[in-house]
Chain A
């Protein structure tokens, strides 16, 4: 605020403290203005590239989270043994010692029996720092950890395909050089969380520069409203449109980047009639057909000067064809006319967009940047939550990314960029350093990843012994079976040798963030004991036994709020920045930082060696900074070692507390790395055949349905359960979208954001097409029920709009809270997730993404 010393007296203290926002996982760099001990303003930190001094409405509103009188101030224990939705736990204040003592006793007993009985639950809102909780899980010995609602909603498909094709978590157009950006259900640069504010600035720059932007989406909101063209599409059908566009490029327009496909993809790898690669009998390497010498050679044989992309060649008595030729044949099944029937997008529009995209890519062109000649493909197709959040998640993302791959617009100037998959490190230390590398069959694996198991090559599927069956589905990150209606059925069939007994929760409100509340409530009821670190009591708290009052992001230290850089550091040319998060005000009441508590708990339980080694792995600590297994550390000491490890002894925690961020320039070789790194990406996922067969054998033996269509080497459009509802009364597709004002359900309690949401025409309303509503006699402002074909329903007020597909029902964010402990959030907006089924039937069997659309009817 401008004149904080309202009483006219001079301020005793007036400081701007550099730190990092954590109201969404973008983690933008901030400066917090503290006057006489009170936080009076948050602004962006101009010294950091993670925001360049800019900050969004959410980030500005952190003051109202910090000072919310509804925060939890003391450890609480339930007195009412009955747990259930809306049943008052009868909270009683206890001491920290009482709380920790009980948790310790229970955990030690649990660990002695079987550590896998502990489940750890975190939230995307606090990612990536919440991953520190996973180190506790590693130390404890449980594989049962998840990001409740994250992954299964926003990214199992997007991130796995991002990893396989771009060595990164997410994609953006190269805002600096792209001239044609095609968004499928994405809002990058218009409110999306990854690198949120830097992308907003870059997207605005691109708009001003004249980048043409086409947004394929059922709803015309933030991204589509700023686009040159909005292409309304039937919910969940993006793959059909993308495949039809690839068809147009390859079979109608004859546009593809042969050089790129030959050298940077497996396009020339020969495929046998059974779909597997023809391989060199000795090395096992995939073969290509060298047109120059008329012979089959290993893909990396220097003698293979001109690998064929098209044709049929006899190898070992079999007619083999290059993978690219198979792709070209495959997409012929997606004529624009067929895609029109599936998507509702006119065939002529699909053809036009394919031509525009193909021409914009300028295949064969180069550009000189910083004296280096680089491939120039200024066209990009990106996807995110909207497109990928369906049962066909894996194929959808693959299909959309093929647009980039066939024209060579992947991680080159102007094209689709993964977020920072190459980093050569700070000039003084060379750290952090990571580069994608070639793995099995010369295909790429990321140089850094969010989680221990890499997307490629997929791990060997095996009989699961974790709650979510991740071992059986190695291309998944997070599993809905952690809170699904059918979890017990699957655990029985697969003879899971234990049951989860204790849940350690960090800030997640899984009762609302996963799917319908009744299903999740049933799974939460299975735990004997639930401990939750949280800022507020909420709907989830009704199932907790002990609540621990957490510190807010303005009261804690974190040495890496933006690492790994593939997660939320801005992509494209510019500057690297490694900021820290630090307390801007001291803790009050009996709140404590969950990180400190967790570390203390580990030491208290005698898990010091395991915890320290897990921290060494998580932070990549080695050499003098490696934690000694025999010693106990404070979190400050761990943070200090992490920073010195990355940036040298002169850049220790004290240095970072003063300066807030360290920066160094990005090089062209890092940003546009594709020509400089000898890796290929698969346009034909041969590995899916073997992977699928292995999964089928394990799954089928336990009565788990396995549809091989999801494991085909080339993408298909496969319907969601919502597309197969036959009852004509259910005639609309409900979906949710990200509101620029909100992060998950967390921000609903913030009164500044609530106030803006109440002023916004859409935030708290159900968006319905005007004509669709007119036919049903529904008027603007009416209260209606949205009822799913599976018998679930939510109510809310209608906002009539021309900006939504006639078959769409659009609902923002994760709203509709009912907890009395969050009076600002209570009763605001619509609880979309109530419409979602959570079971294997509604899950992508490749990456375990949940299907996030529901066939519904809207009734008064």
Chain B
């Protein structure tokens, strides 16, 4: 069992649905994005292309973040999810240095979206799950998977660009897509074995 995600860049048009869906699901504080969208432009006028690259934790097979974690807070679960134990994390942030995908965020102090006006009812409730002084990141919505639900970014994507499943199962939709559409992870040369694959635009 190895959970993985395939993101079809042909379908994605950079709407930010994943980014905001993730924010809503995890009640992440300002500036924290377990999912985000990076936009770039290539080519010269008029032969120009826009690149929309949805980013999240790549849930690497050999996670460099896990290797540097001094307390064992970052763990590679048997199902392939790389997760952080909030109780064990001491906020040293070595993992942030180690992650080549900039998928990790440090919750340095309590902050909320309307600043001095204080937390909203929603934030007051949601931010309780994010202790200050620890590192946080995407965990493929492990709490949803427990209830048989797909990750929030997968169910919201208006273009259905995201597919989630078991990379170890050759019959799974994710395995089929990677094979048929020549899916590639981001920066495979780093040798971390990401579990997120991208299909060409």
Contacts and interface: CB of A to CB of B under 8 A. Distances in A.
Interface residues on B, range: 35 or more
A221 B122 contact: no
A663 B114 CA distance: 40
Nearest to B139: A2
Interface stretch (A56-64, A121-129, A459-467): A56-64
Given A67-B121, A69-B117, A752 B155 contact: no
Interface string B117-150: 1101111011011000000000001011000000
Interface residues of A, number: 68
Interface stretch (A135-143, A201-209, A278-286): A201-209
A493 B189 CA distance: 75
Contact of A802 (B15, B44, B113): B44
Interface stretch (A576-584, A755-763, A783-791): A755-763
A54 B158 contact: yes
Contact of B30 (A197, A751, A769, A801): A751
A1 B10 CA distance: 29
B125 A769 contact: no
Q: Which of B45, B129, B141, B157 has the most CB of A within 10 A?
A: B45
Contacts of B85: none
A759 B19 CA distance: 11
Contacts of B48: 220, 230, 801-803
A752 B158 contact: no
Contacts of B39: 760-762
B156 A55 contact: yes
Contacts of B13: 190-191, 200, 204, 222, 225-226, 740
A207 B52 CA distance: 15
A760 B158 CA distance: 19
Interface in A323-378: none
Nearest to A226: B13
Contacts of B23: 60, 752
Q: Which of B41, B46, B118, B158 has the most CB of A within 10 A?
A: B158
Interface string A16-60: 000000000000000000010011111110000001011111001
Given A57-B15, A57-B17, A803-B50, A197 B41 contact: no
Contacts of A804: 45
B169 interface: no
Classify the secondary structure of A's interface with B: mixed
Contacts of A203: 159
A1 B24 contact: yes
A292 B17 CA distance: 60
A191 B15 contact: yes
B21 interface: yes
A791 B134 CA distance: 54
Q: Which of A56, A231, A761 has the most CB of B within 10 A?
A: A56
A60 B160 contact: no
Given A191-B15, A207-B10, A232-B45, A2 B25 contact: yes
A2 B125 contact: no
Given A38-B122, A761-B39, A200 B15 contact: yes
B14 interface: yes
A64 B26 contact: no
A42 B8 CA distance: 24
Q: Which of B15, B141, B157 has the most CB of A within 10 A?
A: B15
A712 interface: no
B96 interface: no
A44 B128 contact: no
A770 B44 CA distance: 9
B159 A200 contact: yes
B102 to A, nearest CB: 13
Given A40-B122, A69-B114, A802-B43, A204 B30 contact: no
Given A57-B17, A207-B10, A756-B20, A3 B129 contact: yes
Interface in B50-93: 50, 52
A824 interface: yes
A44 B120 CA distance: 23
A746 B48 CA distance: 31
B196 interface: no
B125 A1 contact: yes
A130 to B, nearest CB: 24
A432 interface: no
A19 B24 CA distance: 18
A60 B158 contact: no
A259 interface: no
A67 B120 contact: yes
B161 A204 contact: yes
B2 interface: no
A230 B46 contact: yes
B10 A208 contact: yes
Contact of A56 (B8, B114, B158): B158
Nearest to A53: B155
A769 B44 CA distance: 10
Nearest to B42: A802
Interface in A160-198: 190-191, 196-197
A801 B41 contact: yes
Contacts of A839: none
B49 interface: yes
A44 B20 CA distance: 13
A803 B11 contact: no
B104 interface: no
B136 to A, nearest CB: 12
Nearest to B159: A204
Contact of B24 (A63, A67, A760): A63
Given A60-B24, A190-B13, A806-B45, A755 B30 contact: yes
B126 A752 contact: no
A102 interface: no
Nearest to A585: B121
B24 A41 contact: yes
B158 A741 contact: no
Q: Which of A1, A201, A207, A752 has the most CB of B within 10 A?
A: A1
Interface string A806-845: 1000000000000000011000000000000000000000
Contacts of A201: 158-160
A776 B26 CA distance: 46
A762 B117 CA distance: 29
18 contacts: A2-B143, A4-B125, A6-B129, A44-B155, A53-B155, A56-B158, A60-B21, A60-B23, A60-B156, A63-B120, A69-B120, A204-B10, A204-B160, A741-B15, A756-B19, A756-B20, A760-B16, A771-B45
What are the 4 A-B residue pairs with the smallest beta carbon separation, nearest first? A6-B128, A225-B50, A67-B120, A204-B159
Interface of B: 8, 10-11, 13-17, 19-21, 23-27, 30-31, 36-37, 39, 41, 43-46, 48-50, 52, 113-115, 117-118, 120-123, 125-126, 128-129, 141, 143-144, 152, 155-161
Given A2-B141, A54-B160, 8 more contacts: A1-B125, A191-B15, A196-B158, A201-B158, A221-B50, A230-B46, A760-B39, A803-B45
